[in-house]
């Protein structure tokens, strides 16, 4: 009887932990269903979930992104700003959370986001500001992203360095006429892609060629410009007097959820095999689908950021630390079970069950992000419309948008709503279902 | 034993309630280190005091025999923070108007609303209370500017440098008659440990 009273409180706490774990599972389930269900219905279901405080940032990141896709830009900014503030505040080490994580499991830490997520929140906010018509607001986010990436990065690692965010920063500066800053950002995007040995998308090649030429008063003998000409095998194609440019961003798919893997580790001190759980990504089943755009001929978007890959890299960077913590925890629990067994078989059995139930891998992530971010940069006559083939939408002519030089549009595979800068009402196809390609 | 339980409970729940304390709106309270109401108010006050103390104002009054009419144009936020420029511009407008040394012209948005009202008066107001169109006071000078920042961050420390640049331009000939600058530097130390 005394033993039951002794174990009652931990068992109740375990049940509570499990119930809270349910909300994490529910959100992961929603993320898995998102490509089929679409962001509107997923958002409705997500709003019915009340996450524990420690998962609040993850919840807000997902809700902010869904609001963004459904066109609620003000709501999206509010959620993402809140998530960003929470993630910033979590940079200080928490004593209570560390104790909880070391004795129970990693999910007791508040969710502070992976390096890529900490940078992507700025990018999503920048797009939210841009598509609301607030170019200076987008510029603020890009400056903050630069600070975040500088803090995350070091000279030898590309962890937390995102070419897509550098490209977006370059574009915002370029639209503001700040060509030197634009060049720095495009150059950095190029360096990141080269460091990862990925293919440089045509849109980035065009940006590097055009801006390096324009910032030197179109001097084609400039050394940097010539370097890009030889690398990409073509000259810059600057828009003529009656031409402008569409920059098309395409978010394709939904990033894979983390799963839990149980591993057996031999501990030489205990001379026993101990079981640890680790977060893991299953092999990606994502197949890149490109967006076709009709500008006279058909052009396709190209991948600038494979989020599937970034998520796996972030997890791999953390794996040694996570493994060490999981091993320490497993050893502590093993010793507790052994002691409980000494006081009786039932106590040992219950302690073993408690240890197994409490051991959960941290499978939290910003799991409604796209699998890939793609883009295209297209020169078009100012009075010509551009067709987004799969969505059955015609983008208005740039002169109808009130823009003489640039139009930016975001298309997602998840629904048929398009967001544009300058903002333009009615960019939505009437026909078609979510994910119809 | 009971006393310890009470002390523990008091300590445990002392941090749980919401507390509200009213403070003077002119008091300076720095929480995150970001641009706040005190920065906005102090920069606006100092810069407007500076602009009003420079020779352009007496030059204009001597030449035309009238007080200069000023309008606030665009103030751009080129900083690392989302700054509410409306409060900053409102602080500057208030300082300018309250100085009594310049006339102040309504902004572009405000003018649109007033013109709509004037059109409505044309249709609906009595003749003796109607205000005619085409009698607006044109601005002699436009005040515009930008807020820039430089951030240097390392570990838990951050230096934030704000530079506010304002320019007063003559509408007649595009002459810059006053350049104002205010700099603020803050050292922010974030905590390494939380409970």
How far is it, in rounded angstroms, from Cα A77 to Cα A134? 12
How confident is the prediction for chain A on average, in pLDDT? Answer: 87
Task: Phi first, then psi: give them for residue B64, nearest 5 degrees.
Answer: -105, -15
Range name among A243-247, A265-269, B144-148 with the lowest pLDDT average = A265-269
User: What is the mean predicted confidence (pLDDT) over B117-134?
Assistant: 92
Residue that the structure tokens 């001190």 belong to: A269
Q: How far is B131 from chain A (nearest CA, A)?
A: 34
Q: What is the pLDDT of residues B89-113, one digit of tens each?
A: 888 888 888 889 999 898 888 899 9
Residue A326 to residues A286, A321, B162, Cα–Cα distance (Å): 30, 9, 45
How far is it, in rounded angstroms, from Cα B140 to Cα B177? 11
How far is it, in rounded angstroms, from Cα A65 to Cα A14? 32
Look at A373 and A11; give whichever has higher pLDDT: A373
Residue A127 has pLDDT above 90, yes or no: yes
Q: What is the pLDDT of residues B156-172, one digit of tens each?
A: 889 999 999 999 999 99
Helix (H) / strand (E) containing A409: strand A406-412
User: What is the mean predicted confidence (pLDDT) over A349-372?
Assistant: 82
Domain ranges of chain B: 34-126+137-189
Give the closest residue to A169 by CA, choosing from A209, A199, A198, A211.
A211
Helix (H) / strand (E) containing A261: strand A259-267
| Structure tokens, A320 | 């040694």
Range name among A199-213, A291-305, A417-431, B116-130 with the lowest pLDDT average = A417-431
Which pLDDT belongs to residue A332?
81
Which pLDDT belongs to residue A17?
56
Residue B157 to residues A356, B81, B195, Cα–Cα distance (Å): 41, 17, 20
Kindly write down the DSSP assignment for every residue of chain B, as one continuous string.
Answer: -HHHHHHHHHHHHTTTS-------TTS---SSSS--HHHHHHHHHHHHHHHHTSTHHHHHHHHHSSPPEEEEEEEEEESSS---HHHHHHHHHHHHHHHSSSEEPPPHHHHHHHHHHHHHHHHHS-GGG---TT-PPPPSEEEEEEEEEEEEEETTEEEEEEEEEEEEEETTT--EEEEEEEEEEEEEE--SEE-
Band (pLDDT 50/70/90 cuts) for residue A288 is very high
ipTM here = 0.76
Query: Hey, are the CB atoms on B153 and A96 less than 8 Å from each other?
Result: no
User: What is the mean predicted confidence (pLDDT) over A253-258?
Assistant: 95
Which pLDDT belongs to residue A159?
86
B27 interface with A at CB cutoff 8 Å: no
Which pLDDT belongs to residue B5?
62
How far is it, in rounded angstroms, from Cα A165 to Cα A154? 17
User: What is the mean predicted confidence (pLDDT) over B73-86?
Assistant: 91
Ramachandran assignment for A262, one of left (phi > 0), alpha (psi -120 to 50 degrees), beta (any other) = beta
Band (pLDDT 50/70/90 cuts) for residue B187 is very high
B190 interface with A at CB cutoff 8 Å: yes
Which residues of chain A are within 8 Å of residue B156 when distances are taken between CB atoms? 91-92
| Structure tokens, A15 | 């049940």
Residue B78 has pLDDT above 80, yes or no: yes
Bridge partners (DSSP) of residue A278 are A261
Residue that the structure tokens 């915002």 belong to: A172
Which pLDDT belongs to residue A403?
67
Which pLDDT belongs to residue B153?
87
Band (pLDDT 50/70/90 cuts) for residue A430 is very low
- DSSP 8-class letter at A273: E
Contact present, A326 and A334 (Cβ < 8 Å): no
Query: Hey, are the CB atoms on A143 and B80 less than 8 Å from each other?
Result: yes
A91 interface with B at CB cutoff 8 Å: yes
User: What is the mean predicted confidence (pLDDT) over A38-60?
Assistant: 94
- Most distant CA pair in chain B, distance: 87
How confident is the prediction for chain B on average, in pLDDT? Answer: 88
Which pLDDT belongs to residue A434?
38
Q: What is the pLDDT of residues A377-397, one digit of tens each?
A: 999 999 988 999 888 888 888
Judged by DSSP in three states, A219 sits in coil
Residue A15 has pLDDT above 70, yes or no: no
CA Rg value for chain B:
24
Contact present, A162 and A305 (Cβ < 8 Å): yes
B74 interface with A at CB cutoff 8 Å: no
Which pLDDT belongs to residue B24?
87
Which residues of chain A are within 8 Å of residue B188 when distances are taken between CB atoms? none
Which pLDDT belongs to residue A431?
42
How far is it, in rounded angstroms, from Cα B173 to Cα B119? 32
Q: What is the pLDDT of residues A225-252, one digit of tens each?
A: 999 999 999 999 999 989 999 999 999 9
Look at A218 and A124; give whichever has higher pLDDT: A124
User: What is the mean predicted confidence (pLDDT) over A74-93?
Assistant: 93
Residue A296 has pLDDT above 50, yes or no: yes
Helix residue ranges per DSSP H, A306-389: 307-342, 345-358
Which pLDDT belongs to residue A435?
38
Q: Which residue of A has its CA nearest to B157?
A: A151
Range name among A95-109, A202-216, A254-268, A305-319 with the lowest pLDDT average = A95-109
CATH number 3.20.20 is the correct assignment for the domain at B34-126+137-189: no
A74 interface with B at CB cutoff 8 Å: no
Range name among A51-55, A271-275, A412-416, A421-425 with the lowest pLDDT average = A271-275
């Amino acid at each position: 009887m005394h033993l039951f009273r002794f174990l009652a409180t931990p068992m109740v706490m375990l049940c509570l932990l499990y119930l809270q774990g349910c909300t994490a599972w529910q959100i992961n389930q929603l993320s898995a269903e998102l490509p089929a269900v679409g962001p509107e219905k997923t958002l409705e279901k997500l709003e019915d979930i009340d996450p524990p405080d420690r998962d609040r940032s993850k919840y807000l990141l997902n809700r902010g992104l869904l609001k963004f896709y459904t066109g609620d830009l003000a709501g999206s900014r509010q959620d993402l700003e809140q998530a960003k503030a929470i993630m910033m505040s979590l940079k200080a080490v928490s004593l209570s959370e560390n104790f909880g994580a070391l004795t129970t499991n990693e999910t007791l830490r508040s969710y502070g986001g992976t390096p890529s997520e900490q940078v992507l929140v700025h990018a999503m906010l920048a797009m939210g500001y841009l598509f609301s018509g607030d170019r200076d607001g987008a510029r603020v986010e890009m400056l903050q992203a630069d600070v975040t990436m500088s803090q995350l990065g070091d000279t030898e690692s590309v962890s937390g360095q995102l070419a897509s965010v550098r490209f977006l920063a370059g574009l915002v500066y370029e639209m503001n006429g700040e060509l030197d800053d634009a060049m720095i950002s495009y150059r950095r995007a190029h360096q990141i892609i080269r460091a990862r040995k990925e293919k440089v998308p045509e849109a980035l090649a065009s940006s590097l060629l055009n801006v390096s030429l324009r910032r030197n008063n179109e001097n084609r003998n400039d050394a940097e410009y010539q370097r890009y000409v030889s690398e990409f095998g073509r000259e810059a194609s600057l828009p003529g007097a009656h031409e402008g440019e569409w920059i098309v961003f395409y978010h394709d798919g939904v990033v894979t959820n983390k799963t839990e893997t149980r591993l057996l580790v031999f501990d030489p001190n205990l001379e026993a095999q101990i079981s640890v759980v680790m977060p893991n990504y299953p092999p990606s089943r994502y197949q890149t689908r490109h967006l076709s755009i009709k500008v006279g001929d058909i052009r396709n978007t190209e991948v600038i950021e494979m989020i599937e890959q970034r998520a796996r890299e972030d997890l791999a960077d953390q794996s040694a630390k996570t493994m060490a913590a999981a091993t320490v925890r497993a050893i502590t629990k093993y010793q507790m079970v052994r002691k409980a067994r000494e006081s009786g078989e039932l106590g040992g059995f219950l302690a073993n069950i408690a240890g197994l139930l409490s051991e959960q891998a941290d499978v939290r992530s910003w799991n409604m992000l796209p699998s890939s971010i793609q883009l295209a940069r297209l020169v078009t006559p100012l009075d010509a419309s551009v067709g987004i083939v799969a969505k059955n939408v015609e983008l208005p002519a740039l002169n109808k948008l009130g823009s003489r030089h640039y139009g930016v549009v975001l298309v997602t595979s998840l629904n048929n709503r398009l967001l544009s800068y300058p903002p333009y009402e009615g960019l939505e196809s009437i026909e078609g279902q979510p994910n119809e390609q | 034993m009971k006393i310890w339980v009470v002390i523990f409970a008091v300590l445990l729940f002392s941090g749980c309630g919401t507390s509200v304390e009213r403070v003077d709106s002119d008091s300076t309270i720095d929480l995150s280190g970001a641009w706040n109401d005190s920065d906005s108010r102090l920069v606006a006050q100092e810069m407007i005091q500076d602009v009003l103390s420079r020779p352009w104002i007496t030059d204009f009054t001597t030449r035309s025999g009238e007080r200069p009419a000023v309008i606030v144009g665009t103030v751009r936020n080129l900083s690392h923070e989302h700054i509410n420029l409306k409060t900053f511009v409102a602080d500057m407008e208030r300082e300018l108007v309250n100085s009594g040394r310049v006339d102040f012209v309504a902004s572009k948005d405000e003018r649109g609303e007033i013109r709509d009202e004037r059109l409505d008066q044309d249709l609906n107001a009595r003749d003796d209370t109607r205000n005619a169109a085409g009698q607006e006071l044109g601005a002699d000078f436009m005040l515009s500017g930008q807020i820039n920042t430089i951030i240097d961050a390392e570990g838990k420390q951050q230096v934030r440098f704000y530079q506010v640049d304002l320019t007063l331009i003559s509408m007649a000939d595009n002459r810059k008659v006053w350049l104002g600058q205010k700099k603020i530097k803050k050292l922010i130390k974030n905590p390494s440990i939380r409970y």
